[in-house]
Amino acid sequence: MKKTVLITGSSRGIGRAAALRFASESAALENLQKDSYNIVITCNKNTKKLGEVKDAVESLGCPCLAYTGDLSCSSNVRQLAGLTAHEFGAVDILINNAGASYVGLLTDMSDIDWNNIINTNISSIFYCCREFIPPMVSNKSGCIINISSIWGSLGASCEVAYSASKGAVNSFTRALAKELAPSGIPVNAVSCGLIDTDMNSIFSAEELAGICEEIPCGRAGTPEEAAGLIYSVSQQPPYMTGQIITIDGGWS
The residues that are catalytic are: 162
H/E segment holding residue 84: helix 74-87
Rounded-to-integer distance, Cα 93 and Cα 126, Å: 15
| DSSP label at residue 197 | S
H/E segment holding residue 143: strand 143-149
CA nearest neighbour of 210 among 199, 222, 219: 219
N- to C-terminal Cα separation, the chain: 40
Q: How far is CA 43 from the centre of its chain?
A: 11
